[in-house]
Structure 1
Amino acid sequence: MTPAQVQAYFTRSDGAYVFARWGRPIVPVVFGVADETLAVIKGACEAVVTLAGHKMAETDPELGANLMVFFCTDWAELPEVPNLDRLVPDLEPLVARLQAADANQYRVFRFDEDGGIKACFVFIRMDEAMRKVPADTLALGQMIQSIILWSDEAFLGGSPMARLPDGRVVMKPEVGAVIAAAYDPVLPVVAHDASHALRLFARLQVS
């Protein structure tokens, strides 16, 4: 990878450079799936968190759970979830935008006073396209995109995952390397200057 490629992962569509990683242990909870799928999602979360060298916990002292994954068949179901509007401000306008865009996934991040990620809400609408995706592939993709605040354009040109000749789907090595480097203790939890990409690139060379 080049410094420019690393920088592109965190350069948003408005030109701003924004990087953030989790500033606290991750506590996942999943709604709307069967037990077997729940195990797959939590397994993917554990794998990505381990790769990052970060931590998971049984509970978050402020929120109880801080990585919440919601599966639904229609966006109209979200406002019916008890207290979700307290966790996700402007929930009904968000639902209207998702319906208008015919979206099938969306993530909302919340940040602590230092700018680190303190919560992530993942919404997945199981439309025809999503139903064709194997559970382990879907879970891995969502966890990759939840472990760091990537640019809104980071994966428009291609998935963060790749299919092996034997049919297995895995995280692309360069994406995994960026995640691991991003959680290096020498790097900040949050950055708004593109010089951070150079430091991140330097950690990639060390690893």
Structure 2
Amino acid sequence: MTPQEIEALFTRTDGSYAFARWGRPIAPVVFGVEDQTLAVVKGAIEALCHLAGHDIAETDPELGVNLMVFFLREWDELRGVPDLDRLIPDLAPLLDRLEGIDANQYRIFRFDEAGAIRAAFVFVRMDAEMSKVPAETIALAQAAQTMLLWSDQAFTDRSTLAQTPSGAVVLRPDIGALIRAAYDPVLPPSAHDPSHALRLSARVGAAL
């Protein structure tokens, strides 16, 4: 991946460069799925953590859990989740906006003093389009998009996933190499200078 391609993946619609990776072990919890799908989602998160060389944990000592994944049919279901409005300020107007644009997924990140990801909330609405997608594919895509703070327009034109000749859906090798490179301990946990993409590019080249 060229530095320009990497820079684009972390450049937001307002033109700012914003990169962050997790700064603590990921302690996930999943709501709204059966046990079989729960195992699939947690398995995808574990696989991405293994790829990145990052730890996964049962609990976070400060927060209990720090990655909350919600599967739902309608955005309105979240209005009835106890205390969710305390975790996510301005929840009501956010849900109004998501309903207005007919969104089927949304992610919110929280950060620590160093700018690293401290917690994340992932919402997947199983609309008609999303319901056609296998659980394994949804889980892998959401895990990949939660490992780093990507641009809000990073994957509008091309998915994080690819299909093998046999028909299996896998993480794109370049995205996998980028995630692995992003967790190199030599690099900072967060960055706002586009020159950071040059350092990532050098490590991606070595990882591919």
C-alpha distance in structure 2 between counterparts of 1:53 and 1:73, whole Å? 34
**Uncovered stretches (5+) of structure 2, i.e. residues with no partner:** none
Q: Deviations over 1:21-78 (max 9, x none)?
A: 0000000100000000000000000000110111011111121111100011110010
State the distance in 2 between where 1:90 and 1:23 align: 25
Q: CA deviation at 1:205?
A: 2.3
SS in 1 for 2:15: coil
Aligned residue number for residue 170 of structure 1:
170
TM superposition shift of 1:122: 0.4
In structure 2, distance between residues paired with 1:156 and 1:17: 17
Equivalent position of 1:40 in the other structure: 40
Matches within 5 A, 1:120-135: 120-135=120-135
Q: Secondary structure at the match of 2:108?
A: strand
Spell out, residue by residue over 1:86-136, the C-alpha distance to the aligned partner (whole angstroms, 9 max, x if none). 111111111000000000100000111111101110011110011100000
Judge which range, 139-148 or 60-69, deviates more.
Answer: 60-69
* Matching residue's letter, 1:47: A
Moved over 2 A (4+): none
1:79 aligns with 2:79: yes
CA distance in 1, matches of 2:63, 2:128: 33
Name the counterpart of 2:201. Answer: 201
2:111 corresponds in structure 1 to 111
State the Cα RMSD in Å: 0.7
2:143 is paired with a residue whose SS is helix
Distance 1:79 1:65 in 2: 21
1:97 aligns with 2:97: yes
Counterpart of 2:115, as a letter, is G
Q: Secondary structure at the match of 1:92?
A: helix
* Corresponding letter in the other structure for 1:51: L
Taking structure 2 as the reference length, the TM-score comes to: 0.98
Name the CA distance, whole Å, in 2 between partners of 1:142 and 1:204.
Answer: 21
Q: SS at 2:62's partner residue? A: coil
Matching residue of 1:157: 157
Residue 183 (str. 1) matches residue 183 (str. 2):
yes
Per the normalisation by structure 1, the TM-score is 0.98
Count the aligned residue pairs.
Answer: 207
